[in-house]
Homo-oligomer: A and B are copies of this chain.
């Protein structure tokens, strides 16, 4: 298998990206194609030993800033690492693309300029994998579409469910809509209409869930619009970080607490791992004609390797073919 990895994705580009790529090449025995500035990549590769796998370079001189707007990105030259890599997926030169770069740019270039939509897909959708009590849920949309229609929501559910089954290995993924209450009468207009559509469909729809239920693994595929999804994800991260900061502050307040905190350090480290979404590595952009996995800019080499492993599973299980069939069946 050949997987393109954006060498210019993380905040510490190209260091973590290349380290993660080499780690994956050695562990999986695949070919990792590093996409970015050839000279920079060659220089950094000298610090690594590639054993069982293979590492190639695909030159792309332009670097897209993390805060560049999708509209500007679209107009810019087609020589950015994201554009060059997605072109390679489109031409079949590589099987998938993995990046820790600018999510909006990846979404825009994939949807409008390179891979384009799978036939019948109304809107491609960004997902996130959300781990609670060691149960992984796929959340979508987490930011691609801020204003959505009920029939887009049902497609998000179809695509998320296929990914949950083939890659996350849930035999019969349970689909839920995120709402402000579990009752059918709750929700805004979008959720009430989407809920009605989903109840009438053949999907394994288990109903609406509210935030507290996200913590109890009642469903595997959690669907919402991209505005709410983005805010909910950021609220989880911000709150977990806030509580952690409170704990650090409080533990400095008196000698007994300081001692207590020191003794409990291993416990705190285990907690951090459970709340940290970067361990998972990345999550798919679904609905475009190719496997694309996007991860956090703060990802470590291990996180990047994990993102690449997800891309491998998606290619091996033919997620794209399954979505093509799923969307075609839904249209009938």
The interface of chain A, by Cβ under 8 A from chain B, is 69, 132, 143, 146-147, 178-181, 185, 187-189, 191, 210-212, 214-215, 225-228, 230-232, 234-244, 246-247, 250-251, 253-254, 256-257, 259-268, 270-271, 274-275
Contact = CB atoms under 8 A, between A and B. Distances in A.
A104 to B, nearest CB: 10
A263 B266 contact: no
A143 B254 CA distance: 40
Contacts of A181: 230
Q: Which 6 A-B pairs have the closest CB atoms?
A: A260-B264, A260-B263, A250-B267, A239-B239, A257-B267, A146-B188
A77 to B, nearest CB: 22
A267 B251 contact: yes
Do most interface residues of chain A lie in helix, strand or loop, or is the interface mixed? helix
Contact of A210 (B234, B256, B259): B234
A246 B274 contact: yes
5 contacts: A132-B242, A146-B189, A212-B238, A215-B241, A251-B264
B246 A271 contact: yes
Nearest to A189: B147
A262 B257 CA distance: 9
Contacts of A254: 266-267
Contacts of A265: 260
A232 B235 contact: yes
A253 B189 CA distance: 46
A218 to B, nearest CB: 12
B231 A178 contact: yes
Contact of A247 (B132, B214, B242, B271): B271
A288 to B, nearest CB: 21
Given A210-B234, A232-B232, A247-B247, 14 more contacts: A143-B180, A191-B227, A211-B234, A211-B237, A212-B238, A215-B242, A227-B228, A235-B235, A239-B239, A240-B243, A250-B264, A251-B264, A260-B264, A260-B267
A156 to B, nearest CB: 16
A276 to B, nearest CB: 12
A113 B264 CA distance: 56
Contacts of A264: 250-251, 256-257, 260-261, 264
B230 A180 contact: yes
Contacts of A246: 271, 274-275
A212 B188 contact: no
B275 A243 contact: yes
A246 to B, nearest CB: 5
Contacts of A236: 235, 239
A253 to B, nearest CB: 6
